[in-house]
Amino acid sequence: MTTNRPIRVVLAKVGLDGHDVGVNLIAKALTNGGFEVVYLGKRVPTDDIVAAAVAEDADVIGVSCLSGGLGHFTTALIGKLRAGDAADIPVIAGGIDEPDQISRMLDAGVYRYFGPGSSTEDVVAAFAAAGQDGRGA
């Protein structure tokens, strides 16, 4: 993996939720911050996210879901990254879920979780940190 290129982020919405304000805002902020962003769109199966992240040589994956189920989808994603020998790609999750589900996903290995009201600055900083960690820095 090269380390002198910009941090590359794969973003996707999981589940059936189509509210993409948050993920679009983050995509814009990351792009403005010098990241390379690949946004896969809405209703993306976790298998497709893993495949895209590997194909794009992603440093970080960001997934968003506002309708609940974030714990389910991110836990599944972490499992598939491990099975696909891509466990080194950190996953950042944004959206809404119950506290026990958020704990579940963090226990499963999600790098950071951001709920409603999080500042864009904090989210971008987390992607930067995750990108560095993903590269073994």
Partner 1 sequence: MDDGKAGLGEVPTRANDGEVPIRRRYGGGGSAALEQWAGRLATSPGPYRPRFMVYSGLGTPDMTARRLAILQDLGAESFLLAADLPSQLGFDPDHELAHAQVGRAGVSCTTLADFAEICSELDLTRVDSVGLLANSIGHIGLGMVHCVLTDAGADQVRLVMQNDPLKEFTARGTEIFTPEQAVRIACDCVAFAIDNRLPGAALTVCSNHLDVAGAGPVVATAMAFANAQVYLDELVGRGYAVRDALPHMMFFLNERSDLYVSAALFRTARTVWAELVEQRYGLPVGEQPAMTLMGYAHGLESADEPLVNVPRITLAVLGSMLGGVDYLCASAYDEALRIPSVDAAALALRTMEVVAYEHGAMASVDPLAGSHKLAELDEHVAAGIRAELERIDEHGGGLAALHDGYISARIDELRGARQRQLAEGERAMVGANLLRSPHGPKLFSGNSTGEVGFAQVERTARDRVAAHRRDRDDHVVRSALDGVRAAAATTGNLVPPTIAALRAGATSQEIIEATSRGFAQ
Give the x-and-dash track for 15-54 against partner 1 (CB under 8 A): xxxxxxx--xx--x-------------xx-----------
Give the x-and-dash track for 54-93 against partner 1 (CB under 8 A): ------------xxxx--xx--------------------
CB of 134 to partner 1, least distance (A): 26
Cβ nearer to partner 1, comparing 4 with 119 = 119
Helix residue ranges, H only, 13-98: 21-32, 46-55, 70-83
In terms of Cα–Cα distance, which of 81, 23, 4 is closest to 48? 81
Determine if 120 is a binding residue for partner 1 (CB under 8 A).
Answer: yes
- Contact set with partner 1 (CB under 8 A): 15-21, 24-25, 28, 42-43, 66-69, 72-73, 96, 98-100, 115-117, 119-121
